[in-house]
Amino acid sequence: MSMQPPKTSERASLLRTVQAVLWSFIGVRKNTDYQQDIEKLNPFYTIGVAIAAVLLFVLGLIALVNWVVVQPTGL
């Protein structure tokens, strides 16, 4: 068995990488061979998308907490 890197045409697109990262956030993946999925993802896209997703998640949580704290209680 030779371990050759996937051809350029077989590389996952940025959209496919975003989908893979978002699905991994909730712990779900397709019923395909895990190693084949990993080999198709561009590591630079994956790292960039993961950092952006974490940043958006944290900023969303901060915004939610600020919105809840600022809401008048009506008492």
Domain extent at residue 18: 8-70
Question: Considering the domain boundaries, does residue 16 fall inside one?
Answer: yes
Residues 16-61: tens digit of each pLDDT: 888 888 888 888 776 666 677 778 888 899 999 999 999 999 999 9
**Residue at 64 is within a domain:** yes
**What integer pLDDT is reported at residue 13 of this predicted model?**
83
| pTM beyond cutoff 0.75 | no
pLDDT digits (tens, 9 = 90+) for 4-13: 555 555 667 8
30 domain-assigned:
yes
The answer to whether residue 56 is domain-embedded is: yes
Instruction: Give the DSSP H or E segment for 39.
Output: helix 34-40
With respect to residue 61, please indicate whether it lies within any of the assigned structural domains. Answer: yes
Q: How far is CA 31 from CA 15, 35, 41, in A?
A: 19, 12, 16
Q: And the tokens for 29?
A: 């993946």
Domain count, the chain: 1
